[in-house]
Structure 1
Amino acid sequence: MSDPNVLLLLTDQERYDLTAPGSSVETQHVDRLREGGMTFERAYTPISICSAARASLLTGLYPHNHGMLNNCHEADAIQPNLPPGHPTFGELLAADGYHTAYVGKWHVGRDQGPGDFGFEYHGGADRHHDADLAGDFCTYREELGVSVDEADLEDAIYTDTGTLVAARDPVPVEATRPYYLAQQAIEQLREGLDEPFFLRVDLYGPHHPYVVPEPYASMYDPAEIDPPASYRETYAGKPAVHEQYLDYRGVRSFDWERWAEAIAKYRGFMTLIDDQIGRILDAAEGVEDLCTIHTSDHGDFTGNHRQFNKGPIMYDETYHIPLQVRWPGEVEAGSVCREFVSLHDLMPTFLDLAGVEIPDVDGRSIRPLLAGEIPTDWPDAHFAQYHGDEFGLYSQRMLRTAQYKYVHNGPDRNELYDIEADPNELGNLIDHPAYEGIRRDLEARLVERMEAVEDPIAPWTATAMGR
C-alpha cells in the first residue's frame, strides 16, 4: 500500500530505557505504540548532539556528509544552517503531493526553519534555539494569565557552573510547552490536514532543564531511585575528556542525593510528554492508513557515569534511542526487531512508504524490517561519530556490534568494551591482551565503514591504528 498518512513524534534527548519494556517510568501511551506495532531494540543515533542528529534525520546523511557537525545556535557552530544542496524528506514528500506539517522544535539552523524544507510550520519553537521562530508559546501563556520566570521555580537544581538542571514549575499542566505543542498537533489533525499527510511533532524534552509541574514533579520519589551500576565509574583507563567533563558540565560536586532528585524530575518530564503523546494519539484515532513513529534525536546521561547532558563520551545512554512504529495492517502488533537501525534510516524510509524515489543517501529504508523481512546484506553493526561540543572539535568514531563497542578517539586513547560481560561499559579493554584479536578486527571493520561512507578522516584513522 502506498501513500500512507504518517505521524512522526520526535522527542528531545530521550534515553532508550525510559520507554523500554520493564521500565519503571510510566509511559502508557508509548506502550500503546509498542504493543500495537514494532519495537526496535537496537535503534541508535548517528551522533548524540541535537543539530547534527536532526540534520541527519532530514537528509539521511551522516554529519560529515551533510556538514552540520555541532549545534547551530552557538558562536562556534561549524555551520549556522544546513548547507544547501541536500535533498530532505520534507521537500521530497511535499513535491510528491503530501501535506507536510510541522509543530515544535527545529534547531537545524539559525536563519532557516521548517518552511524552508517543505513543511508548513505551525509554531512552538524555542526562544533560545530558534529565536526567529519564537513568540507563539509566550503569547499562549500570556492568554492563560501565566507569567513565570526562572526565579519563580521551586526546588531548583543548578550545576556548579550555573546551568539549570531541574525544578518544580508552579504552573498548571496546560501552561507547559509539551501540552501546548500537543494542542497544536491536535488542531492540525482535527481541522487542517489534507490526505495524504505527514505530520511531524517535535516535542521539547525530556531535554534539560527538567522543569515540570505537579503532579509530575513529585510523581517519582528520589528516595526510591537506586544508583545505576555505572555510577561506580572511576574513569581509570578512560580518555581524559570523560573526567574533564565533570568540570565542563559543572557536576563534579553532585552526590547521589542530588542526582536522584534530578532523575526523578527527568522521569516526571517523560511521563508528562507521554501523556501529551496520548492526547495526540487519541486525536488521530479514525485516521485511515496511519503509520505512527516515535523516536528521539539522542539520549541523555542523567547521572549515568556521573555525567550530565551529553558530550564526546560515546556510551549507550546517549546513543541508544527509542523507536516504535505502529502501522495497522502492515506491521505486526507486538513485534520486535533486533537488527541495528539508525535515526537517519528514517529519511529513506519515509520516502519508501510514499513511493518516492530515494536519493543517494547514507541511510537505508527499514520498510523490509517492518514487514518482518531481514535483507541478507543488512548491517550487523552501528557506525556513529562525534565532532565536538561548544569547546571546539574532537573527532570520535564508534562501531557498535551486538557484543562489543569500539571507540576511536582522535585526540586521546581509544576504547573497547565487551557489552555482554560489561553492559555498563566500566572497563576499557583497549590494551587487554586477551582482546587484541577482537580489537584489530573491530578496527578493520570501523575503517571499512568509514571508507564506505567517505569519511574524510578515514585515512588518518587507519594510520593511527597502524593499518
Structure 2
Amino acid sequence: MSRPNVLFFLTDQERFDLTAPDSPIETPNVDRLREEGMAFERAYTPISICSAARASLLTGLYPHNHGMLNNCHEADAIQPNLPPDLPTFGEHLLEAGYTNHYVGKWHVGRDQGPENFGFQYRGGADRHHDADLAGDFANYREELGVDVSEADLEDALYTDTGTLVAATDPVPVEATRPYYIAQQAIEHLREGIAEPFFLRVDLYGPHHPYVIPEPYASMYDPDEIEPPESYRETYDGKPAVHEQYLDYRGVRGFDWETWSEAIAKYRGFMTLLDEQIGRILEAAAGIEDCCTIHASDHGDFTGAHRQFNKGPIMYDETYHIPLQVRWPGEIEAGSTCGEFISLHDLMPTFLDLADTEVPDVDGRSIRPLFSGEAPSDWPDSHFAQYHGDEFGLYSQRMLRTKRYKYVHNGPDRNELYDLDADPNELGNLIEHPAYESVRTDLEARLIERMEGTGDPIAPWTATALSR
C-alpha cells in the first residue's frame, strides 16, 4: 500500500462557502486542489471553538472524550492541556516512520507545543495563544524594519465592546503573518525533508481581526456585497442566547454598511491566504506521491444572522467547513463526495495513509471514500456539540441530517430546522405540530449518538427530552 507524503493546510475560522465552486472570492489555488482532487460537500467540525476543534483533529476524539471543552488560553479553561495518555496522530505517524513538521498556529495547550506530539516545530505561533512559542514572527518583522502597532492601522473597525474586527494594515505583504508562515514552510521544503513526511501548515486567518494589507484590503467592494438571507434574522422563537450574543459580542449596533466593510476584509483575507497556499504548492510541486489536504477548524459568522465570530449558536456558517483532498493517481480529479465527514475523521485518515494501526477513536478514516463509493455503514448524519467559552458553560448537542437539523440546548429551548424549506435556519420548528414525528425521531437518534460516544450528559439529556 502506498505511504504518501502528506501536505496538510489548516485555515483558522474559514467558512465552507468561501471556497465553494460558486464563491465570489478569488481562491485559485484552493480551487485547483478541488478541481484536481475530491471536494467533500458535507464536511463539518465537531465543535465550533478553536482549542476544542484542534484537539479533536489531533486525537480523533469528540471534545467530551478528550476533555478540552473550551479555549485553553482563557482563564476559564476547563482543561488547559491535553492529557498525556491520549493517542495523537503526530505521535503515531512518528512511530510509523514519518518525519513530522509543523508551521503556524497551535492553540492546543498552554504548556504544550507541536514538539510534544511528534512534530518538529518550525515557528509561526502567536503570543496571545502560545506564549511559549512566541517571538519568531516579531523578530522577522524587526529584520524587515516593520514596526506597526494597532494605533497605526487604517480604517479600523471595532465592536462596541472594543474588539478589533477589521482594518487595513500599512505593511508590505511580506510582513504579514500568513506570508511568514508560508515562507517557513517553503524554506523547510527547499532544505529537503526526509520521506515519507507529514507537513502541517496552520495559517492564521481568516479569523478576526481581519487585518490585511493592500491590495487585499480593497480587493472586494463593500457596496457590491449583498446581505445574506440569514441577515433577516428576527430571533423569534429562538434560544435567548442568540439575541443576547449581539450585546455580548458588541455588534447590536452594526448596520449593513458596517458588516459589508467587515465582510470585504474577511474575503480579502482569504485571498491573501490562498496566495500563500499557492506559494507552498509551487515549492512542493516536484515531490512525488503527495496527498494534499485543505480544511479548517470551524467557520465564522461574519454578519450571518447578524452575528460576529462564533458561540453557542449552531448554524452552518460556523459548523460547515471546507475539505479538499488531492492525491494524483488515487483520487479522480474533479470528483465530489456528499457523505458526512467530521474534522476529527482526519486523525484516523492520516494514520490510514501511513498504513499504520488506528487506535480506538471516535473518528473514522475517509480513505475508503476516495474511490467515490461509501461503505454501507457510513453515518447518515453529523453529531456536534458546544460547551461554552468566556461567558461560561452552556451545553449544546446537535444532530444534522441532509434535510434536518436538531439542536438540544440544555439551558434553553431546543431548535429544529427543515433545511430543504429553510436553508438559512430562520424558522425554529421545535413546537410546530406538523414536525412532531420528525422531532421525536431526531431526539432519539441524538440520544443514540450521545450514548454511543460516551457523552457524560446523555442520561440527563434523555431524561429531559422524555419529558
The one-letter code of the counterpart of 2:270 is M
The aligned counterpart of 1:62 is: 62
The aligned counterpart of 1:188 is: 188
The aligned counterpart of 1:451 is: 451
The aligned counterpart of 1:7 is: 7
SS in 1 for 2:466: coil
Q: CA deviation at 1:371?
A: 1.8
Describe how 1:436-447 pairs up with structure 2 within 5 A.
436-447=436-447
The aligned counterpart of 1:32 is: 32
Which stretch of structure 1 is more off in the superposition, 78-87 or 296-305? Answer: 78-87
Describe how 1:376-415 pairs up with structure 2 within 5 A.
376-415=376-415
State whether structure 2 residue 173 is matched by structure 1 residue 173: yes
Structure 1 runs, 4 residues or longer, greater than 3 Å off = none
The one-letter code of the counterpart of 1:88 is T
Q: CA deviation at 1:346?
A: 0.2
Q: Deviations over 1:40-88 (max 9, x none)?
A: 0000000000000000000000000000000000100001111221110
For residues 269 and 131 of structure 1, the distance between their equivalents in structure 2, rounded to whole angstroms, comes to 24
Q: Deviations over 1:434-454 (max 9, x none)?
A: 000000000000000000001
The one-letter code of the counterpart of 1:346 is L
SS in 1 for 2:389: coil
Describe how 1:35-46 pairs up with structure 2 within 5 A.
35-46=35-46
* Conserved 8 A contact 1:408-1:415: yes
Q: Deviations over 1:182-229 (max 9, x none)?
A: 000111111141000000000000000000000000000000001000
For residues 17 and 366 of structure 1, the distance between their equivalents in structure 2, rounded to whole angstroms, comes to 21
SS in 2 for 1:394: strand
Q: CA deviation at 1:3?
A: 1.4
The aligned counterpart of 2:235 is: 235
The aligned counterpart of 2:161 is: 161
Query: What is the TM-score of this pair, normalised by structure 1?
Result: 1.00
The one-letter code of the counterpart of 1:448 is E
SS in 2 for 1:377: coil
The one-letter code of the counterpart of 1:157 is L
How many residues matched? 467
Q: CA deviation at 1:102?
A: 0.2
SS in 1 for 2:392: coil
For residues 263 and 293 of structure 1, the distance between their equivalents in structure 2, rounded to whole angstroms, comes to 26
For residues 117 and 413 of structure 1, the distance between their equivalents in structure 2, rounded to whole angstroms, comes to 40
For residues 2 and 346 of structure 2, the distance between their equivalents in structure 1, rounded to whole angstroms, comes to 16
The aligned counterpart of 2:324 is: 324
The aligned counterpart of 2:344 is: 344
For residues 453 and 346 of structure 1, the distance between their equivalents in structure 2, rounded to whole angstroms, comes to 17
For residues 83 and 303 of structure 1, the distance between their equivalents in structure 2, rounded to whole angstroms, comes to 36
SS in 1 for 2:259: helix
The aligned counterpart of 2:303 is: 303
For residues 65 and 107 of structure 1, the distance between their equivalents in structure 2, rounded to whole angstroms, comes to 18
Describe how 1:362-381 pairs up with structure 2 within 5 A.
362-381=362-381
SS in 1 for 2:47: coil
For residues 247 and 83 of structure 1, the distance between their equivalents in structure 2, rounded to whole angstroms, comes to 35
* Conserved 8 A contact 1:101-1:199: yes
The aligned counterpart of 1:87 is: 87
State whether structure 2 residue 308 is matched by structure 1 residue 285: no
State whether structure 2 residue 421 is matched by structure 1 residue 421: yes
The aligned counterpart of 1:465 is: 465
* Conserved 8 A contact 1:44-1:340: yes
For residues 39 and 427 of structure 1, the distance between their equivalents in structure 2, rounded to whole angstroms, comes to 30
For residues 3 and 338 of structure 1, the distance between their equivalents in structure 2, rounded to whole angstroms, comes to 26
Q: CA deviation at 1:96?
A: 1.1
The aligned counterpart of 1:359 is: 359
The aligned counterpart of 2:268 is: 268
The one-letter code of the counterpart of 2:197 is F
For residues 32 and 181 of structure 1, the distance between their equivalents in structure 2, rounded to whole angstroms, comes to 21
For residues 212 and 403 of structure 1, the distance between their equivalents in structure 2, rounded to whole angstroms, comes to 38
SS in 2 for 1:431: coil
The one-letter code of the counterpart of 1:383 is F
For residues 174 and 57 of structure 1, the distance between their equivalents in structure 2, rounded to whole angstroms, comes to 30
Q: CA deviation at 1:2?
A: 2.4
**Unmatched 5+ residue regions in structure 2?**
none
For residues 161 and 155 of structure 1, the distance between their equivalents in structure 2, rounded to whole angstroms, comes to 17
The aligned counterpart of 2:212 is: 212
For residues 461 and 84 of structure 2, the distance between their equivalents in structure 1, rounded to whole angstroms, comes to 28
SS in 2 for 1:58: helix
The one-letter code of the counterpart of 2:130 is D
Query: What is the TM-score of this pair, normalised by structure 2?
Result: 1.00
For residues 46 and 192 of structure 1, the distance between their equivalents in structure 2, rounded to whole angstroms, comes to 35
SS in 2 for 1:10: strand
For residues 2 and 441 of structure 2, the distance between their equivalents in structure 1, rounded to whole angstroms, comes to 42
For residues 249 and 82 of structure 1, the distance between their equivalents in structure 2, rounded to whole angstroms, comes to 28
State whether structure 2 residue 229 is matched by structure 1 residue 246: no
State whether structure 2 residue 119 is matched by structure 1 residue 129: no
For residues 98 and 161 of structure 1, the distance between their equivalents in structure 2, rounded to whole angstroms, comes to 46
* Conserved 8 A contact 1:68-1:83: no
The one-letter code of the counterpart of 2:224 is E
Q: CA deviation at 1:373?
A: 2.4
Q: CA deviation at 1:286?
A: 1.2
For residues 84 and 412 of structure 1, the distance between their equivalents in structure 2, rounded to whole angstroms, comes to 35
SS in 1 for 2:231: helix
SS in 2 for 1:201: strand
* Conserved 8 A contact 1:89-1:350: yes
SS in 2 for 1:379: coil
Q: Deviations over 1:87-113 (max 9, x none)?
A: 100000011110100000000001110
The aligned counterpart of 1:138 is: 138
* Conserved 8 A contact 1:19-1:31: yes
For residues 163 and 145 of structure 1, the distance between their equivalents in structure 2, rounded to whole angstroms, comes to 27
For residues 10 and 83 of structure 2, the distance between their equivalents in structure 1, rounded to whole angstroms, comes to 23
The aligned counterpart of 1:198 is: 198
* Conserved 8 A contact 1:238-1:413: yes
For residues 334 and 216 of structure 1, the distance between their equivalents in structure 2, rounded to whole angstroms, comes to 28
